[in-house]
Amino acid sequence: MKFENYRIAGEIKKSLEKQEFRRPTDIQFKAIPHIMKGEDVLAIAQTGTGKTAAYVIPVLDKVHRGKLKQVRKDGIKCIVMVPTHELALQVVQVFRSIGKFTRVKCHAVIGGVEQDPQIQQLNSGFDVLVATPGRMFDLIAQGHLRTNRVETLILDEADHMLDLGFISDIKDLIKKIPKRRQTLFFSATINDKIKRLAYSLVVNPIRITLSPKNPVTKNVNHSLMFVEMDDKRFFLERLVRENPESKILVFARTKVRSERISKAMERADIPSLVIHGDKEQKERNKVMADFKSGRVKMLIATDVSARGIDIPDVNYVVNYDMPEQAENYVHRIGRTGRGKKKGFAYSFVAPHEKELLENIQAFLGSEIEIRELDKTAYKETLEVKFEQKNDWKSLLGEIEENEERERKKKKRRK
């Protein structure tokens, strides 16, 4: 079935055609009809399968038709709650691009930026609000945001929102919106917490689950190699040297680690960008823009940012540090191989991370392919450090890292 055969507004079909969206993906094919009927939906599908458009298209149709008939009073008709700033901005972009020819206005409310411009936008009026919980509740408490006209509530990346501790925020919002509403849950993974929350908030939901036994999309070739912790930067450098035109997304466990990896790459004359929660929103936006455009081809991120990164043509994902939560492995490597494109994901596993690897493989229900490295290949990779510039900055960096390493060793001995 093609989009042109759906009973959606012509303005939406026009936009989809211009963007060359001919046929719905599996999740869109299964979810759109139920959402258009007004049913509650709990949808679980792999990342990169078009989940956002699966709810954007029917919501746009519903709000647009209501405005044409002029039967609905002014006010926000739909709230989309998301866990990260980047995801909020991307969801708004999808609403605006698909709704380009409609009368639907969409706006994002996020923290980390001045709130006065957001208040002005609220006062000008719009139909769809995409928000991170913190700033949204600030504006509700201050009386700038009214939710009494909300007809649809959407929780995107619901599992991650619960991991970040937003469950009380979600329940608070439920108290502030009408009881008669449509509720939609979208996520790449599901666990008991999500099930309990979902079924406490929805009425006879339609449950849609795609490929539950294989959470990793077929488009991603993922493998691992066993690497000593202190040697990981040389393997990352080798990957960059061998693929100079590729976009590479690197995941680190903490903010501090991500900054250290970036500095190590800088000493090897490899430019990189870093994104994490401590950076100002203005800087985060610039980082994303520079990576999307390809001006800088390596981005180093923490898991908090993993759900907000939907960038076309990411060729490689690197798990520099193995994720502590098994579900995050799926979300990380899902940043490549999106849509119909192929992607590659490599994990550098240090000896102390083997337990994390076992948890991930248990979650996947299968073992990850191991790339065997003989001693010669391993040694050749480490030799890249001798090709680095022997300037004073590089030498100081090496000295600092060696000193830090020695301090850690002494601590362990004690």
- Structure-model confidence comparison of residues 285 and 210, the more confident one: 285
Is the confidence at residue 391, as pLDDT, over 50? no
| Contact in structure between 224 and 368 (CB atoms under 8 Å) | yes
The pLDDT assigned to 199 comes to 82
The pLDDT assigned to 389 comes to 43
265: region left, alpha or beta (phi > 0 left; psi from -120 to 50 alpha): alpha
Q: Which amino acid is at 226?
A: F
| Contact in structure between 159 and 81 (CB atoms under 8 Å) | no
171: region left, alpha or beta (phi > 0 left; psi from -120 to 50 alpha): alpha
pLDDT category at 307 given cuts 50, 70, 90 is low
Is the confidence at residue 309, as pLDDT, over 50? yes
Mean pLDDT of the chain: 85
Q: Which amino acid is at 203?
A: V
Ordered structural domains, the chain, with CATH = 3-209 (3.40.50.300), 220-413 (3.40.50.300)
Structure tokens at 67: 């405005």
For 310-340, b where at least 16 C-beta lie within 10 A, e where not — what string?
Answer: bbeebbbbbbbbbbebbbbbbbbbbbbbbee
Query: What is the Cα–Cα distance from 223 to 185, expressed in whole angstroms?
Result: 31
pLDDT category at 397 given cuts 50, 70, 90 is low
- Which of 6-15, 78-87, 94-103 has the least mean pLDDT? 78-87
End-to-end CA distance of the chain: 67
| Contact in structure between 353 and 227 (CB atoms under 8 Å) | no
Half-sphere exposure of 190 (CA within 13 A, CB side): 20
149-206 pLDDT per residue, tens: 999 999 998 777 776 677 888 888 888 899 889 999 988 777 777 788 778 888 888 9
pLDDT category at 303 given cuts 50, 70, 90 is confident
Is the confidence at residue 282, as pLDDT, over 90? no
pLDDT, average across residues 133-161: 87
Query: What is the Cα–Cα distance from 187 to 55, expressed in whole angstroms?
Result: 12
Is the confidence at residue 68, as pLDDT, over 50? yes
Q: How many helices (H) and strands (E) in the chain? A: 17, 14
The pLDDT assigned to 116 comes to 86
Is the confidence at residue 414, as pLDDT, over 70? no
